[in-house]
A and B are shown apart, each in its own frame.
Chain A
Amino acid sequence: AQSVTQPDIHITVSEGASLELRCNYSYGATPYLFWYVQSPGQGLQLLLKYFSGDTLVQGIKGFEAEFKRSQSSFNLRKPSVHWSDAAEYFCAVGGNNNDMRFGAGTRLTVKP
């Protein structure tokens, strides 16, 4: 089955600084890749997804992610972080089955 690793449990950035959250996946075929965001006490909201085509995908709230097959990575980026971006971020991978595997999450703190 597929699996996901998010190496960073917690990241702190200053407001206005750039952000990159790492995600590495393991899957034998072409993966379906997702980034979700979870605010405290809330469910998960989809930020962006990659199924095929252009490896740089744009999402909501100014986020983007790049699929790099050679590195089995799907890192999430934002050029300038806002205080409202503080949340937990989950990378997920799905395949040609009915299973979706989530990473353990990265908690983002934004300093004023």
Chain B
Amino acid sequence: NAGVTQTPKFRILKIGQSMTLQCTQDMNHNYMYWYRQDPGMGLKLIYYSVGAGITDKGEVPNGYNVSRSTTEDFPLRLELAAPSQTSVYFCASSYGELGTGVHEQYFGPGTRLTVT
């Protein structure tokens, strides 16, 4: 049971390039999340998904896109990388039921992205 896995661990992008951050979980969780972590700012929610085919914006969605075609995978796409997207990105998953609140989240190890 690997939990939540993320690839790559590190990446350097040039301004304007695009890339996809991969996230996979093997716990059969229906909810999945993408966060970014900037120094002194805690975690900010980018996008989340409550199940395959359903995604929604979080606090800071601009510049990102997501898709959820399977329960296991939740990739995050950066289309035109900007220096403001330099951050550490965490994927998380949890069990959840609509209207009953968020259960504890299980986090991946993170992807450190630098845009120059």
B74 close to chain A: CB less than 8 A: no
A51-B102 Cα distance, complex, nearest whole Å: 10
A96-B103 Cα distance, complex, nearest whole Å: 10
- Per-position binary interface string of chain A over residues 1-12, scored 1 when its CB falls under 8 Å from any chain B CB and 0 otherwise: 000100001000
Interface size on A, residues (CB 8 A): 26
- Which residue from chain B places its CB closest to the CB of A105 in the assembled complex? B42
Interface size on B, residues (CB 8 A): 30
- Interface stretch among B11-19, B64-72, B77-85, B93-101? B93-101
Query: Which residues of B are found within 8 Å of A43, using beta-carbon distances?
Result: 4, 90, 107-110
Known A43-B110, A51-B101, A95-B102; 6 more pairs at CB < 8 Å: A34-B104, A44-B105, A99-B58, A100-B33, A104-B40, A104-B41
Report which A residues bind B (CB closer than 8 A).
4, 9, 32, 34, 36, 41-46, 49, 51, 90, 94-105
Question: Closest 3 interchain pairs by CB?
Answer: A94-B102, A43-B107, A102-B43
